[in-house]
Structure 1
C-alpha cells in the first residue's frame, strides 16, 4: 500500500463518484477504479458499493475514510514541520546569560524571541559566568551565550554586541549616594563586594584593574550572584562596581551612581559553538542581535 492509494480512496469516498474523483486527482477514471479495487483486494475488505449512478461507502469504508484522512493529515503536518525545522522556526534553544546582564537581557530577549519565534522552545539560564558558559557551549548544554569576553577557546565563536560602563553600587545611606557621580578614588577606604576571583570573572578583573588605576587594591567580599552582591551592598556590607546593566536589578537599600570621568567598560558578546549547523540557533542569534540593535 502506498500513500497515493489513500489519497485516491479519500477522493472517491468524498466525491462518491469515480468521474469527479478522477477530475479532482487529474488522472483517468479507469486507472483510478483499478487502484481502488487493488486497495480493497489488499485489505480483503469491501470499502465501496458501486452502482451506475453513485458510489456508497460500506461501514468498513466509513471507518477507513476517517483513518485515511488522519494519516494523510499527519503526513502533511510532518512535511510542514520538517520545512519549519529546516527554516529554524521550530526547535529548542538553551541560552545562558552572564550574571551582570541577567536582569536586563533575560526578560527583554525572552519577550522578543517569543514574539519573533513562537515555535521555538527557550531554556533561559541566568547568572552564568563566562567560563561556565564556555564549558556549556562546548559540552552542548548551552546553544547560545550572552557573556563577557575574552574567550580563549577557538571552538567558540564570539560576536561583540556592546560595551558597558561600570557604575557604583552604594548603600542608600552612604554619604556619596546623593552625588551626581562618584570617583573611584573616593572608594579607596570602603569595603568592597565583588564577584569571585577564583572563577575568573571578567567583571572581577575589570573592577580590580579600575581600582589599581585609582591607586588602591580592594579586597572584596566575594559572592557568586549579582542579586546577592547588590543585596550585600543594600545591607551596608560594602560598595561595588558593576556593569551599567545591573541597574535593572532594583533592591531596596541600594542605589546606583555613574562614575566620574571616563568610566572603565566591560564588553558584552554573543557566543555560539563555531560551525554550529543548527538553523534554529542561527535564527535565534539573528533575532537576539536584532532585538539588541533595536533596544540600543
Structure 2
C-alpha cells in the first residue's frame, strides 16, 4: 500500500464516480479502477459497491474514508510544516539579551516577530551578561545572543546590530546633574555603581578601561549583574554609573541621564549564533533586528 492508493480511494469516495475522480487526479480511468481493486485486495474487504450507474461506499469504505482523510491531511500538514521550517517561518527560537537591550530592542523585536513570524515560538532570557550568554550558546540553552563584544569564539557567527552611546546615570539632584553633558574624568571622585568586573561583564571591563584612560581607578562601591538593579541603586543615591543609552528606557524615578563626551564613546550590540546551526529562522530574526535598530 502506498499513499497514492489512499489518494485514489479518497477521490473516488468523495466523487462517487470513477470518471470524475480520474479527471480530478489527472489520470486515466482504467488505471484508477485497477489501483482501487489492488487496495481492496490488500485490505481483504470491499470498500465500494459498483454498478453500471453508480458507485457507493460500503460500511467498511465509510469507516476507512474517515481515517484516510485524517492520514492524508496529516501528510499534507507535515509537508507544509517542513516547507515553512525550511523558509524559517516556523519553529522555536530562544533569545538571550543583555540588560540595556532587554528594555529597548527586545520588546519591539518580540512584537514584530509575533506579527511577521506568528508560527515561530519565541522565548527570551533577559538581563544576561555576555559571558553567560556565550556559555548558554555553547550549551544549546539559547539559540541567539544579543550581547556586547568582543565575541572571539570561531564557532559563532556575528553581526553588529547597532552602536549605543554611553550615558552617565546620576541620582536626581546630584551636583553633576546640573550639567548638560559630562566627561569620564568628571566621575573621578564619585562612588560608582557598576556591572560585575573581573571579566564577568563587558560593561564592567569597559568602565575600568575608560577610567584608566582618564588617569584614575574607578571607586566602585557596588557591583551588580542586572541593569535594573544598577539603575535602582543609582536612584537610591548609592553612586553614579556609566550605562549604554538604551538603559534610559527603564525610566526609573530618581535617576537622570547625561551624555558622556566625547560623543564617540559607545559600545556595540552584537547578535551571535552558532555557525553550525545557522538556519532560516535566525536569518529572518537578525534581519528584523537590524531594521528595528535602524
Greater shift in the superposed pair: 175-184 or 231-240: 175-184
TM-score (norm 2): 0.93
Q: What does residue 69 of structure 2 align with? A: 69
Does the Cα contact within 8 Å between 1:113 and 1:288 map onto a contact in 2? no
The runs of at least 4 consecutive aligned structure 1 residues that moved more than 3 Å come to 260-263
Q: Deviations over 1:36-67 (max 9, x none)?
A: 22222222222211111111112221121121
Greater shift in the superposed pair: 231-240 or 143-152: 143-152
Q: Distance in 1 between matches of 2:261 and 2:38?
A: 86
Q: What does residue 151 of structure 2 align with? A: 151
Q: What does residue 89 of structure 1 align with? A: 89
Q: What does residue 170 of structure 2 align with? A: 170
Give the direction of change, closer, same or farther, for the CA distance of 1:160–1:28 in structure 2 (3 Å limit): closer
Q: Distance in 1 between matches of 2:198 and 2:172?
A: 30
Q: Distance in 2 between matches of 1:217 and 1:9?
A: 81
Check if 1:257 corresponds to 2:255: no
Q: What does residue 272 of structure 2 align with? A: 271
User: What is the root-mean-square deviation in Å for CA atoms of aligned residues?
Assistant: 1.7
Unaligned runs of 5+ in 2: none
What secondary structure does 1:81 align onto? helix
Q: What does residue 2 of structure 2 align with? A: 2
Q: Distance in 1 between matches of 2:158 and 2:55?
A: 66
Check if 1:124 corresponds to 2:124: yes
Q: Deviations over 1:240-265 (max 9, x none)?
A: 11011111111111121112443521
Q: Distance in 1 between matches of 2:155 and 2:22?
A: 57
Give the direction of change, closer, same or farther, for the CA distance of 1:277–1:160 in structure 2 (3 Å limit): closer
CA shift, 1:77, in A, is 0.8
Q: Distance in 2 between matches of 1:104 and 1:182?
A: 23
Q: Deviations over 1:163-187 (max 9, x none)?
A: 2221011111212224322233332
What secondary structure does 1:93 align onto? strand
Q: What does residue 60 of structure 2 align with? A: 60
Q: Deviations over 1:61-95 (max 9, x none)?
A: 11211211111111111111111111111111111
CA shift, 1:145, in A, is 1.1
What secondary structure does 1:94 align onto? strand
Check if 1:138 corresponds to 2:138: yes
TM-score (norm 1): 0.93
Aligned residues: 293
Q: Deviations over 1:98-144 (max 9, x none)?
A: 12321112102111222222111112111111111122222222221
Greater shift in the superposed pair: 176-185 or 76-85: 176-185
More strand by percentage: 2
Give the direction of change, closer, same or farther, for the CA distance of 1:33–1:106 in structure 2 (3 Å limit): same
Q: Distance in 1 between matches of 2:193 and 2:264?
A: 19
Does the Cα contact within 8 Å between 1:100 and 1:245 map onto a contact in 2? yes
